[in-house]
Amino acid sequence: MMQVLTSGAMNLVQDAGRSGHLHLGVCASGAIDPLALRYANSLVGNAADAAGIELAIFPFRVRFERDSVFACTGADARIELDGRLIAPWWSCRVAAGQTLEIQRPARGMRVYLAVAGGVDVAPVLGSRSTDLKAGLGGMGGRGLKRLDMLALGAASADAPRRAGLGCVPGEVPALLAQIAQGCVSVRVLPAAEYEEFSADSRQRFEAAPWQVTPDSNRQGYRLQGAQTLQMAQRRELLSHGLVPGTVQVPPAGQPIIQLAEANTCGGYPKIATVIEADQWRLGQVPAGCALRFERVDVAQAVSALRAQHAAWQALAARLPLVATRLH
């Protein structure tokens, strides 16, 4: 068990997401930076789909009620265990009674906390992730509150030996550097109505910076540019299924990126889709930071995802050997 001592309503139990229910109107939800959660899980010996905690409100404090191993990944934040500084992207042993405190990140938006065995809330429709909008999954469909008790699942046999391992995917420092400079690039594929936007708008979509507005959350990010995007000929669309990463353009011409908790059906024209390999980046972009869209083709989108997945798989395969030699 662990007990939450300080939290905010946007700190959520999340896993790799809920799949297979989009046609019932149930969104994927899940970690908005899935790359960070996956690495955190590997560092503590969990399966990739184990549930951890997505932190967006700080400080977050939690007391462990049993000995365990944890890792924090994601944004660049100050982490302390009973006042001792702990490195991010590093697994660490914790004793029953110790308190972990995570401060507001200097760069990035969300920190992920994985604990050996995973957070063990009851799965809903096959997932432990919290769907805040629908109020289902996770901790009764809501964010974590002070004094919540979180059960932990059974840790893998080699979890205790994993303490003391660190790793950071190369893409993460690069992203944090972009965030510090105020402009993050993401790759996109053209979406269904791309060709129906005016040539000016298509050109502007890629050339201009699009600022993330404060009106942004797990459902989607509203963007603001100096000029708007317009279709050559406006037309009404019938309701259609939406995939996370879709960049919609409502009639006012300022785009919206649909994210993990997006409505499963929409009606606005879609200019682009952020490629799967870059969606995790969006989870770390704060309001006020700009986005730049770079168009790629589907083969590039697949190879980017394949490379990202292969890097993680190679790491996950090596970690058990390193863990054995550490102890």
Partner 1 sequence: MTTVTAEKQAASAPARIHFAGAGGIYLDCGDARIDVGVQQRIWALAEALRGGAHLDGLREIVPGVNNILVLFDPLALAPTTVRDWVLAQWERATACARAPRVVEIPVIYGGEGGIDLQEQAQRAGLGVHDYVALHSSAQFQVMCIGSTPGFSYLSGLPERLHAPRRSVPRLRIPRGSVVIGGVQAGVMPDAAPSGWHILGVTSAAVFDAARAAPCLFEPGDTVRFVAREVIA
CA angle 89, 92, 98 (to 5 degrees): 125
Our finding on whether 252 is near partner 1 (CB under 8 A) is no
Binding region for partner 1 (CB under 8 A) out of 151-159, 171-179, 192-200, 217-225? 192-200
Our finding on whether 251 is near partner 1 (CB under 8 A) is no
Our finding on whether 190 is near partner 1 (CB under 8 A) is yes
Which of 14, 42, 68, 246 lies at the binding interface for partner 1 (CB under 8 A)? 246
Q: Cα separations (Å) of 4 from 8, 31, 60, 279? A: 10, 19, 8, 29
**Minimum separation from the CB atom of position 196 to partner 1 (A):** 10
Mask of contacts with partner 1, 64-103, x by CB under 8 A? ----------------------------------------
Residues from 269 through 298 that contact partner 1 (CB under 8 A): 270, 273-276, 298
**Minimum separation from the CB atom of position 40 to partner 1 (A):** 22
Residues from 111 through 170 that contact partner 1 (CB under 8 A): 124-125, 133-136
Our finding on whether 23 is near partner 1 (CB under 8 A) is yes
The β-bridge partners of 63 are 3, 99
Cβ 289 vs Cβ 179: under 8 Å: yes
**Strand order from edge to edge, sheet including 68-76:** 12-14, 52-55, 107-115, 68-76, 90-94
Our finding on whether 264 is near partner 1 (CB under 8 A) is yes
Mask of contacts with partner 1, 195-234, x by CB under 8 A? x---------------------------------------
CA distance 302 to 86: 36
- The residue with tokens 């096959």 is 126
Q: Cα separations (Å) of 45 from 41, 122, 163, 177? A: 6, 21, 10, 29
Q: What does 249-298 look like in DSSP terms, one character per residue? A: --TTS--EEE-TT--SEE-S-EEEEE-GGGHHHHTTPPTT-EEEEEE--H
Our finding on whether 260 is near partner 1 (CB under 8 A) is no
The three-class DSSP label of residue 59 is coil
Kindly list the residues in this chain that would bind partner 1 in the complex (CB under 8 A).
Answer: 19-26, 124-125, 133-136, 189-192, 194-195, 235-243, 245-246, 263-265, 270, 273-276, 298, 301-302, 305-306, 309
